[in-house]
Amino acid sequence: MKQRTLGRTGQRVSEIGFGAWAIGGTWGEVSQQDAEAALHAALDAGITFIDTADVYGDGRSEKIIAGVLNQRGGERPFVATKLGRRLSPHVADGYNASNLNAFIDRSQENLQTDTLDLVQLHCPPTEVYYNPEVFAVMDEMVAAGKIRHYGVSVEKVEEGLKALEFPNVSSIQLIYNIFRQRPAELLLREAKRRNVGIIARVPLASGLLTGKMGPDSQFAADDHRAFNRNGEAFDKGETFSGVPYEVALEAVEEIRRFVTGNTTMAMLALRWILMNEDVSVVIPGAKNREQAEANARASDVDALSEETMTALKQIYQEKIAPHVHQRW
């Protein structure tokens, strides 16, 4: 497993991380046994970065991670969590010292640690990025030893660029994949210049870029791919990267011709992200051992050719960009 540095944290992490949303909830049923097996497999494969959030299963994801890490013992991986989405209503005023400290305390309890490695504001309202007091609260929590580093998880490129203005933001998490290429135009480069880590989420476009979905694919009622296609529950860009399902399926068929040898489409999609050296870590999710092992193997995939990269950019520009490029 190859390693990269997570921005100004200075932490070396595996370039493939473990996205722990699916083991928490809203991806259909994932048993405790499968969730634990997926996490064990990821760690066995050399993954040293785990990304979770306090709302993933209302703490279930964090608690599963704590249980597995305590069972394994030894050196702990770097665990990033998020806060803010437990607010109801989810409004900018809720990002205050009282609420943020309460969220931190809860995540510390769930993850069974006195100091959280990295805490990210979890896709807050855009106004939060214009409120220095919020970032001052995060600075105070670092000074108090409650957290080591903090960052932001953003919906929009513009939010990421604004976050870079705060000097102690250590990382930016954002959607970056073959179906969401705009961040590479400016944001990733600016983050690298300022030594801010980039965590690439939704790398497989909610599974579309595995190449295993079709027009008749069915999703469980509690799977966001069934209930959030138009943003009914949260930002629609989190589901299938905001691309209309039928349009995405057409693009997937064009991408399929670049999958060769023992490489799967999912591995190709993950390798495409890693071709950008400004990315610190990519965090595919896994609902079982097999998915976690397959994700980890993407670190061994050969670099994509210039011809393939050009072709994938053209597919994006012609098929996908009109639907997503200026929205996020």
**pLDDT (tens digit, 9 = 90+) per residue, 269-280?**
999 999 999 999
Could you tell me if residue 271 is inside a domain? yes
The residues, any chain, with a CB within 8 Å of residue 298's CB and separated by 6 or more, are 16, 266, 267, 270, 271, 274, 284
Domain region containing 215: 3-323
pLDDT at 27: 87
Q: How many domains does the chain have?
A: 1
CA distance 168 to 149: 8
Peptide bond into 89 cis (omega under 30): yes
Please tell me the number of Cα atoms within 13 Å of 245 on its side-chain side.
15
Beta bridge partners of 199: 173, 281
* Residues labelled as active-site residues: 56
What mean pLDDT is reported for the chain?
Answer: 97
Tokens encoding 186: 């400016």
- Report pLDDT digits (tens) over 285-300: 999 999 999 999 999 9
Could you tell me if residue 328 is inside a domain? no
Q: What is the CATH number of the domain that holds 138?
A: 3.20.20.100
Tokens encoding 146: 């409650």
**For the chain, percent helix, then strand, then coil, each to nearest 5?**
45, 15, 40
Q: Does residue 157 have a pLDDT over 90?
A: yes
What is the share, in percent, of the chain residues with pLDDT greater than 70?
Answer: 100
CA triple 227-233-236, angle to 5 deg: 80
- Report pLDDT digits (tens) over 8-65: 999 999 999 999 999 998 888 899 999 999 999 999 999 999 999 999 999 999 999 9
Beta bridge partners of 168: none
Could you tell me if residue 310 is inside a domain? yes
Could you tell me if residue 138 is inside a domain? yes
Which residue in this structure is represented by tokens 């100091």? 115
Could you tell me if residue 300 is inside a domain? yes
